[in-house]
Amino acid sequence: MAGRQLKEIFRAFHARDELAFRRAAMEIIEEEQAKHHNALARDLQKLLVAGGGSLDSGSTIVVPAPPKDREGEWDLGEVREPDRLLEDLILNKTVSSALENIVEEVRQWPGLDAAGLPRRQRLLLQGPPGCGKTTAAEAIAAELGRPLLIVRLDAVVSSYLGETASNLRRILEYADQAPFVVLFDEFDALGRSRDDASEHGEMKRVVTAFLQMTDRYRGPSLLLAATNHPALLDEALWRRFDEVLTFGLPTVHQLRQVLRLRLKSVAHSGLEIDRYASTLKGRPHAAAEKLVVDARRNALMRDSAIVTGEDVDRALPGITSRPW
């Protein structure tokens, strides 16, 4: 057995990185098979499977079901296998290199720990709707080969006094069990109690509680919070995150890039992409994506496999007239 694999297994144990552990374990089993140590290879395989998981997919991560609220009624989170990549996103250079750096840095956490350097583990993604915050969280998880744990804030926020904090604690304990990318999506909802007129004050209070609770979090998961609520930023709460990434509205050039990307695998003819991008100016990336989807639907409705300028022009008013 190579020293490299042994080191990898110890490192994976230390980082509680199940995926890395399984990868190294599979390498060892394959090596033993190659040496015709069949009985040993079979025993190791059995032990790995007994721990749960499938052998034909090394990337399958087996995690227990997410916790429920106190009444056992609602799941506090949902685990997803992410399938978006960073290359699916059109972002400005600052944000895209920040995302790449984060991914690389998470891979290097053991090295940072060993050097006594702080990890950047709690990030805030902020910006207007439809500019890629949720998608970026998915892409970070996919790039890291980690499952995405989406926290269900509607279930976490309870009308019972003190219950919100205990739900938060429960979901964080869960995120301690395996290396997830955890997304507190629409994070501002944390403080939005149902019948509280002073909604803003309540939001601040609960978000502060979240920040305190996660202040010393050094578990295996990366914690992401996303918001499009500017009030959160007015309160300087953002300063307490390790990093804040601002997703801005796209330029016309970026809208053009989104249109091209979404049309890449679509048969089309006679499209005036520059004009559509200019018409969409001031709207989010999601608008460009929806334009392509709506145009494709129009083409399908007239039984055509090819999207034409007419299909796009028919879709445009619906996109430009709605608020984004």
Ligand X SMILES: Nc1ncnc2c1ncn2[C@@H]1O[C@H](COP(=O)(O)OP(=O)(O)OP(=O)(O)O)[C@@H](O)[C@H]1O
Separation in Å, CA 26 to CA 15, 139, 237, 301, 305: 18, 25, 44, 49, 44
State in angstroms the smallest separation of the CB of 320 from ligand X: 16
- Give the per-residue contact string, 91-120, with Mg ion (x = CB under 5 A; - = no): ------------------------------
Q: Smallest Cα–Cα separation from 286: which of 323, 317, 311, 312?
A: 323
Which run of H or of E encompasses 181?
strand 181-184
* Residue 131 sits in the site that holds ligand X (CB under 6 A): yes
Cα 139 to Cα 84: distance, rounded to the nearest angstrom: 5
DSSP-assigned letters across all residues of 182-234: EEETTGGGGG--TT-S-HHHHHHHHHHHHHHHHTT--SSSEEEEEE--HHHHH
Q: Using CB atoms, what's the residue nearest to ligand X?
A: 132
Q: Residue 285 binds what, of ligand X, Mg ion, none (CB under 5 to 8 Å, by partner type)? A: ligand X
List the structure tokens of 111.
């090295």
Among 143, 188, 289, 311, binds ligand X (CB under 6 A): 289
Residue 283 engages ligand X in binding (rule: CB under 6 A): no
Coil, strand or helix at 118: coil
Minimum CB distance to Mg ion, residue 134 (Å): 3
Q: Which of the ranges 127-135, 211-219, 232-240, 316-324 carries the binding residues for ligand X, by CB under 6 A? A: 127-135
Closest CA relative to residue 144, chosen from 199, 84, 190, 187: 84
Exactly one of 259, 286, 299, 315 binds ligand X (CB under 6 A); that residue is 286
Which lies closer to Mg ion via its Cβ, residue 8 or residue 289? 289
Distance of closest approach, residue 68 Cβ to ligand X, in angstroms: 25
The contact mask relative to ligand X for 218-257 (x = CB under 6 A, - = no) is --------x-x------------------x----------
Query: Is the CB of 17 or the CB of 138 nearer to ligand X?
Result: 138
In DSSP terms, 126 is beta-bridged to: 227, 246
> Exactly one of 134, 158, 221, 257 binds Mg ion (CB under 5 A); which one?
134
**What is the C-alpha to C-alpha distance for residues 169 and 157, in angstroms, rounded to an integer?**
12
Binding site for ligand X (CB under 6 A): 89-91, 129-135, 226, 228, 247, 258, 285-286, 289
Binding site for Mg ion (CB under 5 A): 133-134
